């Protein structure tokens, strides 16, 4: 009897694996609706190093030297992501009027600011990087020959919206 139940259970598992995946929900524009990308606690280093590896792969393909993750630039990026969420708008100025240069100086970064990329989205960090690479001004920040250091951080709101900030320093 136990053997028969085991066979039936195995057959049900096999059949359930053959089920068609659910159809994507389609928005009014005819495109699939985005899925909310949820960042779990404890994923900070994983996401930052995945972004660093991806940026360095793009830089290598463009003949640029690699950059390294910098904790001070990470702090500047985190501060700005949080501030953009509070202001509910993606822009390069802080609620106190601070510029990217001000934020880099505040965290004690000894190099100079190369540039800052920002985004307000529900997409992953790699989808955001791809969007930045599609726009000349943000691509130039990522591929700048002067860049030696990178900071990357975000803030995710309860509704799933993510405020991404990438800072390049040299």
Helix, strand, coil percentages (3-state) for the chain, rounded to 5, are 45, 15, 40
**pLDDT tens column, 18-27:** 545 556 667 7
Whether 22 maps to a domain, the answer reads no
Q: Is 159 exposed, middle or buried (0-12, 13-18, 19+ CB in 10 A)?
A: exposed
Whether 124 maps to a domain, the answer reads yes
How many angstroms separate the CA atoms of 71 and 156, rounded? 20
Q: Rounded to a whole number, what is the largest CA-CA distance in the chain? A: 74
Whether 13 maps to a domain, the answer reads no
Q: Count of domains in the chain?
A: 1
Give residue 100's domain range. 43-61+69-169
Query: Global pTM?
Result: 0.79
Whether 14 maps to a domain, the answer reads no
Whether 80 maps to a domain, the answer reads yes
Whether 37 maps to a domain, the answer reads no
Instruction: State the pLDDT at residue 29.
Output: 78
Instruction: State the pLDDT at residue 57.
Output: 98
Whether 156 maps to a domain, the answer reads yes
**pLDDT tens column, 123-149:** 999 999 999 999 999 999 999 999 999
CB atoms within 10 A of CB 167: 31
CATH number for 155 = 3.40.33.10
How many angstroms separate the CA atoms of 155 and 98, rounded? 18
Q: Is 3's pLDDT higher than 70?
A: no
CA dihedral 88, 103, 64, 70 (to 10 degrees): -100
Whether 158 maps to a domain, the answer reads yes
Q: Is 169's pLDDT higher than 80?
A: yes
């Amino acid at each position: 009897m136990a053997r028969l139940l085991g066979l039936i259970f195995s057959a049900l598992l096999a059949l359930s694996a053959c089920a068609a995946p659910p159809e994507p929900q389609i928005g009014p524009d005819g495109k699939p609706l985005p899925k909310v990308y949820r960042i779990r606690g404890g994923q900070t280093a994983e996401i930052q190093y995945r972004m660093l590896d991806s940026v360095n792969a793009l830089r290598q393909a463009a003949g640029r030297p690699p950059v390294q993750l910098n904790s001070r630039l990470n702090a500047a990026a985190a501060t700005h992501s949080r501030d953009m969420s509070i202001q509910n708008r993606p822009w390069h100025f802080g609620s106190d009027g601070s510029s990217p240069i001000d934020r880099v100086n505040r965290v004690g970064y000894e190099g100079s600011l190369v540039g800052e990329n920002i985004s307000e989205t529900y997409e992953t960090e790699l989808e955001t990087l791809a969007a930045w690479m599609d726009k000349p001004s943000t691509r130039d920040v990522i591929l700048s020959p002067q860049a030696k250091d990178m900071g990357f951080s975000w803030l995710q709101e309860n509704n799933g919206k993510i405020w991404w900030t990438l800072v390049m320093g040299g």
